[in-house]
Structure 1
Amino acid sequence: MFDYLSSLFISIISWFGDKLDALGGFIGGLIGRLGDFLGSILKNAFDVLIKVLGFFLSPILAVILGIVFFIQQVMNIAILIIRIIARLFQIAGQLIGEIFGALYGLNYTGSTSYYVLPNAYQSGFMAIINFMDQTGLSKIALILAFFIWIMTAYAVVKIITNRE
């Protein structure tokens, strides 16, 4: 008799559990369909809102992006101009330094100690040097040596750059 009562009790509980499970599935499905329905309505509403705002705000955004691009290009040009000016000052400084270095290297002291000639020619050579010192031809020779140096530098630049 206890077996019968236990099987009856188990079948009643099982039937009641199945009905609760079906009720839970029905309520869960109903809530799920309601959530899907509300989600699709909200999604469509947000899509319409985004399209409307995008339609009205896209020209403003395009103008803002155009202004930002223009400012970026102006800054790029300004940076390039500053680089070019800095490079020109660098080249001019190096050129001036080289010219002063060359002029400093062309100093004429009037000393004949670095001329070594045989004794037979020394008196004639000294007479020519003294004559050039008195007439100022040594300074002209120095100026001509500078121009020869400049022309040599110009020729070297032409050779290096393959210009004619």
Structure 2
Amino acid sequence: MFNSEECDKQEKEQNLAQLYQLQLQEAHSTIHQLEEEVSQLRDGITLQVARLQVQNTQLQKDLSDSRKDYCAVKRELTQQTVKNSNLEKKIELMQLCMDLQPGANLGMMNHHPQPSTSGLNNDVRSGQPYQPSHFWAHPTHPNVNPAAEGGDYTLEYM
């Protein structure tokens, strides 16, 4: 009897050893598969990081170019604003010069003005004080119709 119990005991131990060996092989196989999957995921992440770095570099370059373009446009706008302001001032000066000429408010071109007996601020023909006329609208100008709204100015000529 002793032999048969020992044989049964040895057989059970061998079966357990084989079972443990199979489980160990499956565990190694699973570990190997997981390591391959991790390796593939790392490669994918590395590739995505490289793509994102290239994309980031391109976006940084585009941003820099856009900033340069913005500065150039802003500089051009400033130059045009100054130019427009200068032209407006030239027009105002020309208008003032025209208004200061005798006969300008009557629409005449008097190349030989007659002398005034009462001073420079009087109109020779009417005897009335000289009042300059303006031909463009300005929101604060007294000759602008105050009833006009929305930037649609109506001029009143003197």
Q: Please give the range of the TM-score, normalised by the shorter of the 2 chains.
A: 0.3 to 0.5
> Which of the pair has the greater relative contact order for Cα pairs under 8 Å at 6+ separation?
1
**TM-score, normalised to structure 2's length?**
0.40
